[in-house]
Amino acid sequence: MMRKNVLIIGASGDIGFSIAERLANEGYQLILHYNKNRSRMEQLANLLPEESILAIVQADLTKKEEMNRLLGDLVYEVHNLVFAAGVAHYGLFHESTEEVMDHMLSIHVTAPWVITKGILPEMIQRQSGNIVCISSIWGTFGASFEVLYSTVKGAQNSFIRALAKEVGQSGISVNGVSPGFINTKMNGHLSTEETEAMLSHIAEDRPGRPEEIAHVVQFLLSDQTTYIQGEVIRVDGGWM
């Protein structure tokens, strides 16, 4: 029987928000994480059925002590873990500061490590669980001016594939979703010309919608996908 509690890391972001909506509509009970965007989290809480929210937790994922506090504050079992937190960084690699490098590593690599490490023992004991990371096509192809983002998303892809091999026999599924060009605030900096250039590479000739990513996450958490393991599923509209 499918277990329904889901911890969503980064629930206040556009994709995390849509994942929370989708899963609540499917009867999941949610533990929602955010960092700074309290108003967005309040908006989400007001939108979802009250009974679908188990807890709302705040933590800065650039600080290990706050990651550990998040884990220590968990009262409910976590049957499913979704990493939807992410930040982009645009600029020449050789002009990137070490502070920015550390920031990107903490959010995209260290936080998934620390949080997964804290939750895995109970999943292994129950012999069940699902872990899903929202990655990016840049983690596969790389992008100029986004070397840091491409690097940490590539690390997430390796984490997914390697951990899946380690915990598959314990009844735990580990997979990823790799979005292409999605209509989110992260892409809000693009000019009209840059957007048109991006769309010229996409067969669908449009940006994706956050809810289209949420649909795939819900699919991966369902009982019908138990033989999907260590996959990073591209959702990119036919990126060429």
E-assigned strand segments in 78-236: 80-83, 129-134, 172-179, 232-235
Per-residue pLDDT, 240: 75
Per-residue pLDDT, 196: 80
In a domain, 240, yes or no: no
The CATH number assigned to the domain holding 29 equals 3.40.50.720
The answer to whether 148 and 100 are in contact (CB under 8 A) is: yes
In a domain, 41, yes or no: yes
Q: Which domain holds residue 43?
A: 5-234
Per-residue pLDDT, 2: 52
In a domain, 136, yes or no: yes
In a domain, 175, yes or no: yes
Per-residue pLDDT, 188: 62
In a domain, 129, yes or no: yes
In a domain, 239, yes or no: no
Per-residue pLDDT, 1: 44
Structural domains in the chain (count): 1
In a domain, 66, yes or no: yes
Low-confidence stretches of the chain (pLDDT < 50) are: 1
In a domain, 63, yes or no: yes
The yes-or-no answer on residue 227 being catalytic is no
Per-residue pLDDT, 182: 86
